[in-house]
C-alpha cells in the first residue's frame, strides 16, 4: 500500500505544479500533479551513484532532468527532518 509523504511543488513553463509524493517500496517515489489541469505524473528513484532518475511516467512527455533533481532534493529534505 502506498503512503503519502508530503506535497512537492516546482515551477515549469510559468506554472507552479504540485501534488503528493507517495512511496510504496521505499525506493521509488511517485509524483502526481494536482495544482493545475496538466496531466503530469512520474516515478523517480535515486540511482546507486546518487543521481535521481525518472523511472516511469507519461509516454508523451519526458520530464526535464532539472525537475527530477528538484523533486529528488525535496524527497531528501523530507527524510532529513
Count CB neighbours of 5 within 10 A. Answer: 15
Domain ranges, residue 58: 3-80
Best CA proximity match to 75, nearest among 55, 47, 52, 42: 52
Mean pLDDT, residues 45-70 taken together: 89
Note the pLDDT of residue 25. 85
* Residue predicted with more confidence, 58 or 9: 9
What pLDDT, in 10s, does the model give residues 22-32? 998 889 999 99
Q: What share of the chain in percent tops pLDDT 70?
A: 98
When divided into structural domains, the chain yields a total of 1
Mean pLDDT of 24-47: 92
Locate 41 and state its grid cell.
Answer: 505524473
The grid coordinates of residue 59 equal: 509516454
Whole-prediction pTM value?
0.91
Amino acid at each position: 500500500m502506498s503512503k503519502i509523504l508530503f506535497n512537492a511543488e516546482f515551477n515549469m513553463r510559468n506554472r507552479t505544479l504540485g501534488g503528493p509524493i507517495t512511496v510504496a517500496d521505499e525506493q521509488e517515489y511517485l509524483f502526481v500533479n494536482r495544482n493545475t489541469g496538466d496531466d503530469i505524473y512520474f516515478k523517480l528513484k535515486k540511482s546507486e551513484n546518487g543521481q535521481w532518475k525518472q523511472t516511469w511516467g507519461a509516454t508523451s512527455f519526458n520530464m526535464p532532468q532539472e525537475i527530477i533533481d528538484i523533486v529528488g532534493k525535496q524527497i531528501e529534505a523530507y527524510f532529513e527532518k
